[in-house]
Amino acid sequence: MILEVGPILDLLMHGNQLKRTNRTGWGQRGVPLAESVADHSYGVAYAALVLAELIDEPLDLAAVLAMAVLHDLPESLTTDIPPSVWRLLPDGAKASAERDALNRIVDHTPVEPRLVAWWEEMRQNSTAEARLVHDADKLDLYLQALVYEHHTGNRQLAEFWQKSPHFHFRQSQALYDELRRRRVA
């Protein structure tokens, strides 16, 4: 089998683009030098790795980490569009746009079927691995909000703490509860 390196290199460039794609929600709230989508993806993967060790059920760690790394890959094309914008679009528009973007990113690569399968598993949230990644995604968001509040003094992030998120695992909930406690302390 001859490997076509062009499509693989293009795929890798999309991952690299995430290093230059800032998370827009932080900037909208006055956070200077906000994290990139790649920074966030690393935080999600790291949180997922730690959470996987705390969960009392067997997990496919490779699937967990793959989903964590891939979860925002479509943003290399869509950019990081904040929830305030997605809420203005028709139901399903976000999922459809991200699915189309992912398909364009992985198209004509030998890894396409597996990457799409992991991404779809994460989107469907029907496995323990996917639920753990969703928990890690939320935990990284709140951890970053706490860091920004404590290290930059930014008080425009209070809205993040007004509504408690739903976590799938009690261990994730316990970590979130401790984040809230530390925020008040």
Global pTM value: 0.95
Please tell me the predicted confidence (pLDDT) of residue 84: 87
At residue 162's C-alpha, the angle toward residues 157 and 168, to 5°, is: 105
What is the C-alpha R_g of the chain?
A: 17
CB contact at 8 A, 169 and 51: yes
Residue 93, pLDDT score: 95
Instruction: Look at residue 1 in the predicted model and tell me its pLDDT.
Output: 62
**Which range marks the domain in which residue 143 is found?**
5-184
CA 141 – CA 172 distance, rounded (Å): 13
pLDDT digits (tens, 9 = 90+) for 13-53: 999 999 999 999 999 999 989 999 999 999 999 999 999 99
pLDDT in tens, the chain (185 residues): 678 899 999 999 999 999 999 999 999 999 989 999 999 999 999 999 999 999 999 999 999 999 999 999 999 999 999 888 999 999 999 999 999 999 999 999 999 999 999 999 999 999 999 999 999 999 999 999 999 999 888 888 998 899 999 999 999 999 999 999 999 87
Domain count, the chain: 1
CATH no. for residue 16? Answer: 1.10.3210.10
User: What is the dihedral angle through the alpha carbons of 112, 96, 42, 21, rounded to the nearest 10 degrees?
Assistant: 110
Quick one: which of 38, 32, 35 has its CA closest to 19?
38
Q: Is 148 exposed, middle or buried (0-12, 13-18, 19+ CB in 10 A)?
A: buried
